[in-house]
Structures are given as C-alpha cells and as structure tokens.
C-alpha cells in the first residue's frame, strides 16, 4: 500500500515538473491569432459551460417579453455588445474577427436561449476571453434589458433593430457613471437613479467632441 502511494506521488511530482518545464520554456503559444487545439478548446468550453450552469442555477428570470425592457436593452447592446457579438445585418467586425476565442454571434437563430446563463455571463464576465464583467458598473435591471433584447435579436431585421436602438434611451446602465452626451432622454421607467447625472446635450455652436463614458472606478473611455 505504501509502495503504491509512493509511486502515485512520484508520478504526480513528475507530471508537475513536466508541466512547469513546458510553461517556463515558453512553448505555450498565447497568441490570439493561433487557434487552440481541438482537445484544449473542448476542455475550455466544457469548463466554461459547467461553471456558468452551476452558478446560474438559482437565478430567477423576469418577464423578458416586456416591450420597454427590450427597447431599453437595444441602446445598451448597440453601444456595448454589437462590436463583438454583431447585430442584424452585420456579419463581422474588426473585433469579432480578431478575438480568440471568437465571441459568439448573438444574432444566430440556432444559438441556445438560456437567459439565466446569459445574465450571469454579462454580469460577471469570463476570464481570459475579452468578456467584461459588466455587473461592475451595470445595475441588474439594465442587464435584464440586454437579456430581453437578446431573446428577440435573432428574429429582428436590420431595420427593426435600428428602430429599437433609435427609440431606446441610449447607453445607460445605472452604475454611478456619468451620463453620455447626445443621448435621447431615457424612458420614464429607465431614467438614471440616484448617483447618476442627467443627460447632457452638445450646443450646436460648439465643436464636436468625443462622448466619454465614465465607469464606477473613475475611468473614462470615448464612444
């Protein structure tokens, strides 16, 4: 028994040393333009799917057919998601082509509809994929707006999608961020809550400047 245990421990030590040697040798190619091998891809996808499924198991999904919820999600999706996950009528973008693993095409009619999983993913993000944890600056109600939009997205024509975006309150998500300029006023049920500033408009006579979006950690990025 002791001999068997010692053999197993020695084998485990050898595997650890081999793994460490591979890592420190630089043999692992981390380039985004080099695809994973099929076994590694399958391992990572299985780990991701099971991790999300376990953590999303107790999430209660609200009514996602509410028209105002769908409309509010359209503005956020267009500003935050479409560049990677595409929009009706858009087949690819620079980002969607350059990321590895490739972001899923959320306009695909054949994709799984798992609202609780989508909510968890948007809120918490996924390590080493380029998927941010939007819950750091986005209230749950705005995330559910995105989910409501996602449920409708594959069936929308480009014209339908653009009409929803135009009718939405624009980029808004209630995380204490400064409201973006040049946005239409938000619908009554999605107006910024306490801690957000009101929407500002450029004066026509002023030179155009990039819109800045401020997150809860104080960082800005232009839109």
pLDDT, one tens digit for every residue, the chain (223 residues): 788 888 888 888 999 999 899 888 988 888 988 988 899 899 999 999 999 999 999 999 999 999 999 999 999 999 999 999 999 999 999 999 999 999 999 999 999 999 999 999 999 999 989 999 999 999 999 999 999 999 999 999 999 999 999 999 899 877 544 444 344 444 434 444 444 443 333 334 444 444 555 555 555 555 5
Q: Name the E strands within the chain.
A: 212-214, 220-222
| Fold held by 64-95+104-183+212-217 | Cytochrome Bc1 Complex; Chain D, domain 2 (1.10.760)
Decide: 64 and 144 in contact? Cβ < 8 Å: yes
Q: How many CA atoms lie within 13 A of 34 on its CB side?
A: 6
Residues β-bridged to residue 80: none
Euclidean distance between CA atoms 168 and 154, whole angstroms: 18
Determine the Cα angle at 57 with ends 56 and 61, to 5°.
75
Instruction: List the domain boundaries for the chain.
Output: 64-95+104-183+212-217
Give pLDDT tens digits for 171-210.
987 754 444 434 444 443 444 444 444 333 333 444 444 4
| N- to C-terminal Cα separation, the chain | 65
Cα–chain-centroid distance for residue 210? 23
Decide: 147 and 64 in contact? Cβ < 8 Å: yes
Give every CB contact of residue 47 below 8 A, 6+ residues apart in sequence. Answer: none
């Amino acid at each position: 028994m002791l001999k068997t245990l010692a053999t197993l421990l020695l084998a485990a030590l050898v595997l650890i040393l081999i793994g460490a040697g591979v890592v420190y040798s630089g043999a692992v190619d981390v380039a985004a333009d080099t695809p994973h091998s099929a076994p590694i891809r399958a391992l990572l996808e299985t780990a991701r799917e099971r991790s999300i499924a376990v953590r999303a198991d107790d999430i209660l999904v609200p009514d996602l057919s509410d028209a105002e919820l769908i409309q509010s999600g359209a503005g956020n999706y267009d500003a935050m998601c479409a560049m990677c996950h595409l929009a009706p009528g858009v087949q690819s973008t620079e980002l969607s082509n350059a990321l590895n693993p490739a972001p899923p095409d959320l306009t695909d009619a054949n994709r799984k509809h798992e609202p609780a999983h989508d909510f968890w993913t948007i809120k918490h993000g996924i390590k080493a994929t380029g998927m941010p944890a939007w819950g750091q600056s986005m209230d749950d109600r705005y995330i559910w707006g995105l989910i409501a939009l996602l449920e409708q997205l594959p069936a929308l024509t480009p014209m339908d999608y653009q009409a929803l975006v135009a009718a939405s309150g624009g980029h808004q998500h209630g995380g204490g961020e400064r409201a973006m300029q040049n946005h239409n006023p938000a619908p009554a049920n999605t107006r910024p809550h306490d801690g957000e500033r009101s929407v500002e408009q450029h004066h026509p006579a002023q030179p155009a400047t990039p819109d800045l979006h401020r997150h809860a950690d104080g960082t800005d990025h232009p839109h």
